[in-house]
């Protein structure tokens, strides 16, 4: 009986293997042609991981493609690992060997189930995009997610002349290059001037442009709102401004170059991240004294540091709780302490990433009123917040970043709040963000339109 079972397993395995090899060849041949039709190199179809990523680019699903490619590689590894683990078979009869093989395959099959499910889901997402690109009916999706049948649409769409994509991947680059602005903002002696040509990174087999053509001048004393949907490049843009991640750019603050004079300028910029980085067991006073040691120049005396700490505690209303432990503070007090730590150095440029996160409307309003007072002393304040409309009256200007068709962060608007409402023909900041977000993200998908429109405004 055991010999019969072994023979049946061998026949089944051999049949599946032959069919699997033929299916894999047909699928790769089809994907090769699909990639070529979309303006990419067909030989990417032969490389596991890269094949899935490039196919996702053809489908207009690049972010999903990054996950899809990694999952595909992991899935391949899990399919071959059981056969790669060495096993001592001396002294085992045929029944024991068969049991060992079957048990090992069962264990790895169970472990790989979550991987296969994830791969299946992302397969659906990618091929849903391909159906849209090739303007096919949704019933094709029944063939696409299954590894035993997805070679059919790949082969048919790839080799049939009547199946053509509505756009090519390379067309997007040419189209968005047409939107590039060649001008620059005039450098001010007082204030912040940003002339960013591009910020790039290497991601998944290619050079990716994260930001491009962002030019602006922000006067002293202005409080500026930074808007943009998820992935529009807000944090990348802020990191480029403060010199943390350098771009192909010129960033000038009060006449000094942020990149070439970074050591000198590091005290002129304060950056408050969304996450709070404080030790709960320290008092408010000790927390600020430690911050003063780090943020103030080395030649500042202890008495001067203490005087600056007292001044900052008075500004942010922390004197009454200076001896309290950080972990005992309220949410609003912790936010003010986090901001105070960066404000110790009295920066000319103050950047805050969601300082109102976790605060109710009243506490958030109080915090932004304090920031407005700081801006009125001649500081430049740049803020990211996901609830801008409840405090929009406190801001002077708004920056709107948006992802274009090539998924590059672009400048869709910079100017006053009133002019922004007119430019976008929207009453609220949330509606403005919705207008530039992609349709699959719940937006109106008008990013390219506004990027082009603002480029024309900048050039008169």
List pLDDT tens digits, range 391-435: 999 999 999 999 887 778 899 999 999 999 999 999 999 999 999
Residue 274 is assigned to a structural domain of this protein: no
Q: Is a pLDDT exceeding 60 seen at residue 175?
A: no
Q: Is a pLDDT exceeding 80 seen at residue 174?
A: no
Half-sphere exposure (Cβ direction) of 443: Cα atoms closer than 13 Å = 21
Considering the domain architecture, whether residues 55 and 123 belong to the same structural domain is answered as yes
Question: Residues 5-16: what's their mean pLDDT?
Answer: 44
Residue 405 is assigned to a structural domain of this protein: yes
Considering the domain architecture, whether residues 144 and 66 belong to the same structural domain is answered as yes
When the pLDDT of each residue in the chain is averaged and rounded to a whole number, the result is: 81
Number of other CB atoms surrounding residue 17 within 10 Å? 10
Half-sphere exposure (Cβ direction) of 164: Cα atoms closer than 13 Å = 4
Question: Residues 357-366: what's their mean pLDDT?
Answer: 80
pLDDT at position 380 is 94
Question: Residues 273-300: what's their mean pLDDT?
Answer: 82
Considering the domain architecture, whether residues 13 and 43 belong to the same structural domain is answered as yes
Q: Is a pLDDT exceeding 90 seen at residue 317?
A: no
pLDDT digits (tens, 9 = 90+) for 159-169: 988 888 877 77
Q: Is a pLDDT exceeding 60 seen at residue 298?
A: yes
pLDDT at position 104 is 60
pLDDT at position 367 is 86
pLDDT at position 17 is 61
| Residues pairing with 353 in the sheet | 384
Residue 240 is assigned to a structural domain of this protein: yes
pLDDT at position 386 is 84
Using the 3D structure, point to which of 103, 135, 167 is the last residue of a domain: 167
d(CA 361, CA 329): 18
Pairwise pLDDT comparison (109 vs 66), residue with the higher score: 66
* Residue 10 confidence class, pLDDT cut points 50, 70, 90: very low
For residue 449, what is the domain's CATH number? Answer: 3.40.50.300
Pairwise pLDDT comparison (298 vs 105), residue with the higher score: 298
Pairwise pLDDT comparison (172 vs 394), residue with the higher score: 394
Number of other CB atoms surrounding residue 79 within 10 Å? 14
How far, rounded to the nearest angstrom, does the alpha carbon of residue 123 sit from its chain's CA centroid?
A: 22
Pairwise pLDDT comparison (112 vs 143), residue with the higher score: 143
How far, rounded to the nearest angstrom, does the alpha carbon of residue 288 sit from its chain's CA centroid?
A: 32
Using the 3D structure, point to which of 167, 185, 210 is the last residue of a domain: 167
| The pair of three-digit structure tokens given for residue 454, joined into one six-digit string | 């603002």
Question: Residues 93-114: what's their mean pLDDT?
Answer: 63
Domain encompassing residue 368: 175-268+347-458
Q: Would you say how long the chain is, in residues?
A: 460
Query: What is the gyration radius of the CA atoms in the chain, in angstroms?
Result: 29
pLDDT digits (tens, 9 = 90+) for 56-66: 888 877 778 88
Considering the domain architecture, whether residues 240 and 384 belong to the same structural domain is answered as yes
Pairwise pLDDT comparison (344 vs 206), residue with the higher score: 344
Considering the domain architecture, whether residues 144 and 16 belong to the same structural domain is answered as yes
Considering the domain architecture, whether residues 120 and 181 belong to the same structural domain is answered as no
| Terminal Cα-to-Cα distance of the chain (whole angstroms) | 86
Residue 290 is assigned to a structural domain of this protein: no
Pairwise pLDDT comparison (212 vs 281), residue with the higher score: 212
Q: What angle do CA 38, 44, 46 make, to 5 degrees?
A: 130
pLDDT at position 12 is 43
pLDDT at position 91 is 53
* Residue 181 confidence class, pLDDT cut points 50, 70, 90: low
Pairwise pLDDT comparison (28 vs 91), residue with the higher score: 28
Residue 113 is assigned to a structural domain of this protein: yes
Using the 3D structure, point to which of 167, 186, 202 is the last residue of a domain: 167
pLDDT at position 3 is 47
Pairing of strands 248-253, 256-257: antiparallel
Q: Total domain count for the chain? A: 2
pLDDT at position 447 is 87
pLDDT at position 421 is 94
Q: Is a pLDDT exceeding 70 seen at residue 313?
A: yes
Considering the domain architecture, whether residues 214 and 145 belong to the same structural domain is answered as no
pLDDT at position 103 is 64
CB of 436 within 8 A of CB of 402?
Answer: yes
Residue 406 is assigned to a structural domain of this protein: yes
CB of 267 within 8 A of CB of 345?
Answer: yes
Residue 352 is assigned to a structural domain of this protein: yes
d(CA 46, CA 269): 48
pLDDT at position 401 is 94
Considering the domain architecture, whether residues 209 and 353 belong to the same structural domain is answered as yes
Considering the domain architecture, whether residues 148 and 20 belong to the same structural domain is answered as yes
Pairwise pLDDT comparison (71 vs 45), residue with the higher score: 45
Q: Is a pLDDT exceeding 50 seen at residue 138?
A: yes
Considering the domain architecture, whether residues 162 and 215 belong to the same structural domain is answered as no
Considering the domain architecture, whether residues 247 and 126 belong to the same structural domain is answered as no
d(CA 355, CA 335): 7
């Amino acid at each position: 009986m055991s010999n019969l079972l072994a023979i049946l397993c061998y026949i089944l395995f051999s049949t599946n293997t032959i069919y699997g090899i033929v299916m894999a060849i047909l699928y790769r041949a089809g994907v090769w042609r699909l990639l070529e039709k979309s303006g990419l190199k067909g030989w990417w179809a032969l490389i596991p991981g890269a094949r899935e990523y490039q196919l996702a680019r053809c489908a207009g699903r690049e972010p999903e493609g990054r996950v899809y490619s990694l999952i595909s590689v992991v899935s391949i590894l899990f399919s071959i690992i059981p056969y790669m683990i060495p096993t001592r078979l001396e002294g085992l009869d045929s029944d024991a060997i068969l049991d060992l093989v079957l048990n090992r395959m069962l264990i790895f099959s169970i472990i790989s189930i979550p991987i296969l499910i994830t791969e299946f889901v992302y397969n659906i997402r990618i091929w849903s995009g391909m159906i849209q690109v090739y303007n096919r009916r949704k019933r094709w999706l029944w063939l696409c997610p299954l590894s035993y049948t997805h070679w059919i649409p790949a082969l048919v769409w790839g080799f049939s002349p009547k199946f053509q994509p509505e756009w090519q991947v390379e067309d997007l680059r040419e189209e968005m290059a047409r939107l590039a602005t060649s001008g620059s903002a005039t450098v001010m002696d007082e204030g912040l001037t940003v002339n960013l040509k591009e910020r790039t990174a290497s991601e998944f087999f290619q050079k990716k442009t994260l930001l491009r053509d962002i030019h602006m001048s922000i006067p002293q004393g202005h409080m500026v709102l930074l808007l943009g949907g998820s992935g529009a490049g807000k944090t990348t843009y802020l990191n480029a401004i403060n010199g943390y991640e350098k771009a192909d750019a010129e960033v000038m603050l009060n006449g000094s170059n942020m990149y070439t004079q970074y050591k000198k300028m590091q005290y002129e910029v304060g950056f408050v991240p969304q996450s709070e980085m404080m030790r709960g067991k320290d008092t408010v006073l000790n927390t600020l004294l430690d911050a003063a040691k780090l943020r103030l120049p080395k030649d500042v005396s202890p008495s001067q540091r203490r005087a600056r700490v007292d001044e900052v505690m008075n500004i942010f209303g922390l004197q009454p709780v200076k001896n309290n432990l950080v972990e005992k503070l309220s949410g609003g007090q912790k936010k003010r302490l986090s901001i105070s730590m960066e404000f110790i150095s009295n920066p000319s440029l103050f950047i805050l990433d969601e300082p109102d996160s976790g605060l109710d409307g009243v506490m958030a309003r109080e915090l932004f009123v304090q920031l407005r007072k700081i801006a009125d002393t001649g500081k430049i304040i740049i803020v990211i917040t996901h609830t801008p409309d409840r405090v929009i009256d406190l801001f002077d200007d708004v920056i709107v970043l948006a992802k274009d068709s090539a998924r590059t962060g672009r400048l869709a608007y910079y100017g006053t709040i009133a002019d922004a409402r007119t430019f976008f023909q929207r009453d609220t900041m949330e509606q403005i963000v919705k207008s530039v977000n992609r349709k699959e993200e719940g937006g109106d998908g008008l990013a390219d339109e506004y990027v082009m429109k603002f480029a024309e405004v900048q050039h008169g």
